[in-house]
Structures are given as C-alpha cells and as structure tokens.
Amino acid sequence: MFYTHIAVSVNNIDESQAFYETVLDMKFISRQVIKGIVIVHLEDEKHNGIELFKHENPLKLEDNLMNFQKVGIKHIAFFVENLDEKVAKALLYGSSIIRPDKDNKRMIFISDPNGIPIELIELKK
C-alpha cells in the first residue's frame, strides 16, 4: 500500500493551483468538471498528489485546523530543500505564517490561500 493523494476544497481554483505549483513545485496532471465541481489534480516528482476541488458556492472554513483537540485532518506536510526560499515564495502568493520556526529546528507552519495549514520541514544536509 502507498499514499496516492489528498483532497482539498478551495475558494479559488486558479489561485490555489498557482500556489501549489509555484510554491510547492507540484505539477499539473489534469483538470475536469464533474457536476459543476472543478477538480485539478497535481503531483510531485514522486507522484504524491493533491486534488483541488472548487465548488460553485464554497462555504467558508470556520474550524481552526490547528486545534489538535478536535478530531480530523490538521495539516499537509512537505519536506523542502530550502525553507527560507519556500516561505518567501509562499508569502508572495498570499500565505501567512501560522507558527514560526522555533529554536532553528527548520520547520514552520504556513497557510495556503484558503487557510489550510501546511508544514514545511527542511531536509537535513
């Protein structure tokens, strides 16, 4: 068994696609519309995927996903080569820092354009 993808509902499909492609180096695989829902599939070089779903009338994210007391998925995590470079790109694409790097552990939480928490962990050299 192996991981294939995660699904993320978004407010703006084009903005979200640009964020994941540019900031996280995901590659476009496909785009389709099923019953009015736009679905964009992206993958990294190891074929780990993200499916972005855009409903005609998305509902606002009201939960604090960083509240670990509540049951559910909390964030997406990526290993990155250069943490500072990824954070700078993310900020240019409307991201915000949710939890900064502490004690120079080379790990930070940012948000995607929809407020979804993303953990970036710099690979040890």
Domains in the chain, please, with CATH?
5-58+73-122 (3.10.180.10)
Kindly tell me if the per-residue pLDDT of 9 is higher than 80. Answer: yes
Across the range 60-89, mean pLDDT stands at 87
The whole-number pLDDT of residue 125 equals 67
Question: Any idea of the CA torsion for 20, 46, 9, 97, to the nearest 10 degrees?
Answer: -50
Q: What is the pLDDT of residues 12-32, one digit of tens each?
A: 999 999 999 999 999 999 999
Confidence of residue 69 (pLDDT cuts 50, 70, 90): confident
pTM of this prediction exceeds 0.75: yes
The whole-number pLDDT of residue 20 equals 96
How does the average pLDDT of the chain come out, rounded?
91
Across the range 30-54, mean pLDDT stands at 95
Across the range 117-123, mean pLDDT stands at 93
5 vs 125, which has greater pLDDT? Answer: 5
8 A C-beta contact, residue 120 and residue 105: no
